[in-house]
Structure 1
Amino acid sequence: MEKWLVVLGIWAMCAACAVLFIRGATGGSSRREEVEERTRAASRASAGNTRTALND
């Protein structure tokens, strides 16, 4: 029985790591769009407004 608990624990840890890895690898799609919008706004700003554009 003890051996089965160890094996089950290892499998559970592997499954949890796989789920967290997949979620981390695919969770940035909405963040990427926000970063692109900020980059466009900063590139349109004049030299005097660069600090303001970066803080937005």
Structure 2
Amino acid sequence: MDYSKGGAPKIRKDAPKHSEHNAKGSTENPFGDAGPVGKAALLARMKAAAEARKATKA
């Protein structure tokens, strides 16, 4: 088999053509600066949403 006629390897098409301006770890969206995160904050938001649904339903 003549491998010299195969041509150049194909370029991957699933890579992004550019980087996002607000990508994780950039200056606009640094790692570790996610605001008030944690289980307690999430639970408080979930309880508030459940109370709001109950108030609108009843």
Pick the TM interval, shorter chain.
0.3 to 0.5
Instruction: Give TM-score scaled by structure 1 length.
Output: 0.36
Q: Give the number of the structure with larger relative contact order, counting CA–CA contacts within 8 Å between residues 6 or more apart.
A: 1
Structure whose residues are more often helix by fraction: 1
| TM-score between both structures, scaled by the size of structure 2 | 0.35
